[in-house]
Homo-oligomer: A and B are copies of this chain.
């Protein structure tokens, strides 16, 4: 009896060891090809330099869609197509300006400023009240806030190792600031940029829609450097008058597209594994880390599989989602169509945390599924990518959760991310070729394993 159990176990163990070795070799071939002859970096350059400020609804975004379709077509995958999606269209208009004037002083101090995505424009002049939280704001009450410009100046927490947690702890100011301040009668809101440390760049980003019950007021971000300066001047000066001028506005919704290509599965062509990022970007720079990196890495996953003659069992679909930044219409439309067409999506991976050296993956899975995924960790140790964690996803693939799809995100190193995020600094030159490529190869590796062994 014992032998009957032991021998099959031994064989299984030997078989698994063999598999493991074979998988190691495939992973190495993926990394070798990408680091030696990768195309992700050149593709990122084309996208960033050709279609920099590709905010949803803009002519540049339309150009980026065309570029994406042509680029996918050029690789000769099994399928390439566009999926229509209506997207919001917000424009910054002429460059916004801000300055302030200390009552006792003689000259104005200019401030680096940018409108928050979704804000109305306007020309506002007024005194500033600085607070660090909504509690503090509310405690001041309508009497003190009414007619003032509210300045939300709580810094991101430098001590968080994963900087996304620091972001999470400060973002309420950007998202809800206008509504909270308007509720108390403020005339505008200034938010300290979501960036770590002190730098001269204002960082934009989406604010929540204005609540119907309150007046719409302009909302902007100023750089952390200027936030420090303004705060100091507010403490030292008896009176300070702030001037803000913004020209942003909403235009009618616009037709745009998700752009999609596929390697068709040899065994389960109707079962889909998605890999993607978002094609749209803020209008401050080139969207190199956010999320040019994610789209070119996703495309590279298909190119690498094709190049290395890895024929997937399931259909591997690369999706360039439109409108992650200010509406997530692309992700919602994609899931809606998938549901309508009764497509089976077994897994979806999103890369949207910048083109930095990858550390591992996050998996929105539990129990045995998670255990099976964690069993791949050792295969990623040679690439320093073995920080596997429970919990993962992404804004664009999130809506697929409803379909029972396993959600995964690539987790790069986060230390530099908020130097670039939504700011004028997010240009192609800020991305390191090898770091980008490591991510592209890692994505391909995990997709290869999930395709081969299922879930």
Q: Give the distance in Å from the alpha carbon of A341 to the alpha carbon of B159 in the complex.
A: 42
* Nearest-neighbor residue (CB-CB) of A385 within chain B: B161
- Interface window among A30-38, A167-175, A297-305, A342-350: A30-38
Closest CB of chain B to A244's CB: distance in Å? 30
Q: Interface size bucket, A side? A: 20 to 34
Complex CA gap A383/B382 in Å reads 19
Indicate if A197 sits at the interface (CB-CB under 8 A): yes
**A81 proximity list for chain B (CB < 8 A):** none
Q: Which residues of B contact A382 (CB under 8 A)?
A: 161
Q: A32-B159, A197-B433, A415-B435 are in contact. List 20 more A-B contacts (CB 8 A).
A: A31-B159, A31-B161, A35-B158, A35-B159, A158-B434, A161-B384, A163-B434, A196-B434, A197-B434, A357-B357, A357-B415, A359-B384, A384-B387, A384-B413, A413-B413, A415-B432, A415-B434, A416-B432, A416-B434, A416-B435
Point out the residues of chain B lying under 8 angstroms from A432, CB to CB. Answer: 415-416, 419
In whole Å, how far is A79's beta carbon from the nearest beta carbon of chain B?
31
Q: With both chains docked as a complex, state the minimum distance between the C-beta of A253 and any C-beta of chain B, in angstroms.
A: 39
Shortest Cβ gap from A165 to chain B (Å): 12
CB distance from A357 to the nearest CB of B (A): 5
CA gap between A197 and B31 in the complex, in Å: 15
**Interface 1/0 per residue, A362-396 and B, CB below 8 Å:** 00000000000000000000111001000000000
- Contact residues in B for A419 (Cβ distance below 8 Å): 432
**Min distance, Cβ A68 to any Cβ of chain B, angstroms:** 25
Give which listed residue, B359, B383, B415, B435, contacts A438 with CB less than 8 A: B415
Q: Mark A5-25, 1 if CB is under 8 A from B, else 0.
A: 000000000000000000000
Chain B contacts for A32, CB-based, 8 A: 159
Contact bitstring A177-201, B, C-beta under 8 A = 1, else 0:
0000000000000000000110000
C-alpha gap A7/B387 in the complex (Å): 36
10 closest A-B pairs by CB? A415-B434, A32-B159, A35-B158, A35-B159, A415-B435, A36-B158, A357-B413, A36-B159, A416-B432, A357-B415
Shortest distance from the beta carbon of A28 to any chain B beta carbon, whole Å: 8
Contacting residues of chain A (74-94) with chain B, CB-CB under 8 angstroms: none
A432 CA to B425 CA, complexed, in Å: 14
Complex interface: chain B residues within 8 A of A415 (CB): 357, 432, 434-435, 438
Q: How many angstroms between the C-alpha atoms of A357 and B415 in the bound complex? A: 8
- Interfacial residues of chain A within 308-338, with CB under 8 A of chain B in the complex: none
Contact residues of A between 253 and 292, Cβ < 8 Å to B: none
